[in-house]
Structure 1
């Protein structure tokens, strides 16, 4: 049974997760490709956003370019999981928070305008919970372009190979624009004009900056951002591999290209607690399907006999866009 039964909805979700048009009336291009009216496109995307199938039509930003981010984990006692998860989620920089099957059972991503902001958030979480936070910093991305195919195939398709972002193109005002794109564009006929009104800029200037930031690799993806669980990928596992860094150079790109692997990157280990350097995400429709993808990955020559473990997600506590510009604190 298809999670998205309507064929036009499936095409909208499948074909426009990246390469969204940077034109005055972008939804017209989507409508022309589907042979429907622009108003129908806007109605469908608005409905899917309200129902939770998509989070936004907007951008994902290359990590650690205009902002800082890290993956972190806490080993929470079983009787404190909800309490600790609530403390983690209350930090404005936390944009993803999950419970996973492991001693280190609460995993979250902290984002912010700079590393100092991220460090301060981690320190506050440690102080408020009384628990150690593992800070697992990104070293090398091999696939950070998360996407999901609905019109056939188990994998989201081979994503673009990550390229170094050129931050030399950044200009004043870009941070505010990028933050707006991580929240999502207005669902109107001329979304770039509406963004310009919000930011006090001309529409043409908005489109020029989005084009420049995309060409520079700072915007890693512009398009429909889907919620994988709502679309049928209800079993996901973070698989960590205990492999030397020099072997990751060869193993990382091979692993990233495997069916079912939706994210792949190298992170720093934590001595005495966490030896794993290579990370891969598997998103699947069932646990059995996820385990099949894992078995195929583990049989690769580059990963044969490499110690690893799969941390299946059991609950999602928070999922939102990254924080690029910090919000001012509200006085009590």
Structure 2
């Protein structure tokens, strides 16, 4: 029973999470089990590292500011530099990848000014220059991860990334609490409301509006793929002509194997690539075969590309915008 329940909690509620005063009771009703069992299993999954949290996945640059960044670090100094980068709370993902640019991390902040200041401080603390690669156009970014292998749904039309809109103090407090994830409590939104100085109905209404506006990509269970057996992941990058990159990004985003897809700037002459895809699998050979198939079917064999497999996960947390 526990394995079946865990699968449904992990797979079915990454998106379709009930936004109501007693969401865990609603989950229990849908699954035909007791609310106490749902709370207990979710807490166990979190402690086992299979989920990072239950809550909001905010859209990049819709609230606050963020960027992907890379560094070329001598291999013998990589662990020390990664530790220096990890000390910044604004860094939420930090990976070693197979490339001359071998350290890749994501930085988020409350504003563009704070982001730029943080990037400067990171470069100074690390002792190496960094290459910022901000998001220009999103094709598929929601951190959802199907465990059943079904095709993705609701891939949005490609669109340029709009600047973040100003937010009020209550909203800033709400973001600060939500980025930690829902408390495992029978009335979690009531508890959050008490922390931010609002009402339960106002908190739920604000979350629903953020979802409708696209500031929140999805609300639900956020899984950790490595702990679920998907131990091979690669960042596939291509140099696509500018007049084709949006169409190609939209096409690749529709592929079930592609878990993230977006356009970022080239940084010539060191980095000529502008289209990024993430592909996960249980084994390296599986990912390599998937990449070869994607490139063949989408006519990308003549386009310059590189495949950067992840080697070491130095840090993986939820983004912190407040």
Q: Which residue number in structure 2 is paired with residue 269 of structure 1?
A: 266
3-state DSSP of counterpart to 2:136: strand
The aligned runs of 1:1-332 (5 Å cut-off) are 6-150=3-147, 152-153=148-149, 157-161=152-156, 170-325=167-322
Q: Aligned pair in 2 of structure 1 residues 166, 85: CA closer, same or farther (>3 Å)?
A: closer
| CA drift at 1:120 | 1.3
Q: Aligned pair in 2 of structure 1 residues 274, 211: CA closer, same or farther (>3 Å)?
A: same
Q: Aligned pair in 2 of structure 1 residues 175, 156: CA closer, same or farther (>3 Å)?
A: farther
Asked if structure 1 preserves the Cα contact closer than 8 Å seen for 2:157 and 2:250, the reply is no
Asked if structure 2 preserves the Cα contact closer than 8 Å seen for 1:143 and 1:159, the reply is no
CA distance in structure 1 between the aligned counterparts of 2:80 and 2:307, rounded to whole angstroms: 25
1:135-176 Cα shifts (integer Å, max 9, x gaps):
1111000000122222x32x6633541676797795442122
Asked if structure 2 preserves the Cα contact closer than 8 Å seen for 1:169 and 1:212, the reply is no
3-state DSSP of counterpart to 2:243: helix
1:187-207 Cα shifts (integer Å, max 9, x gaps):
111110010111121111111
Asked if structure 2 preserves the Cα contact closer than 8 Å seen for 1:27 and 1:38, the reply is yes
Asked if structure 2 preserves the Cα contact closer than 8 Å seen for 1:262 and 1:283, the reply is yes
TM-score normalised to the size of structure 2? 0.95
Q: Aligned pair in 2 of structure 1 residues 59, 163: CA closer, same or farther (>3 Å)?
A: farther
Asked if structure 1 preserves the Cα contact closer than 8 Å seen for 2:229 and 2:282, the reply is yes
Asked if structure 1 preserves the Cα contact closer than 8 Å seen for 2:85 and 2:125, the reply is no
Q: Aligned pair in 2 of structure 1 residues 13, 156: CA closer, same or farther (>3 Å)?
A: farther
Identify unmatched segments of 5+ residues in structure 2: none
| CA drift at 1:72 | 0.3
TM-score normalised to the size of structure 1? 0.92
Asked if structure 2 preserves the Cα contact closer than 8 Å seen for 1:67 and 1:324, the reply is yes
3-state DSSP of counterpart to 1:173: helix
| CA drift at 1:19 | 2.7
Identify unmatched segments of 5+ residues in structure 1: 326-332
Q: Aligned pair in 2 of structure 1 residues 5, 98: CA closer, same or farther (>3 Å)?
A: farther
Ranges of 4+ aligned residues in structure 1 off by more than 3 Å: 162-172
Asked if structure 1 preserves the Cα contact closer than 8 Å seen for 2:139 and 2:155, the reply is no
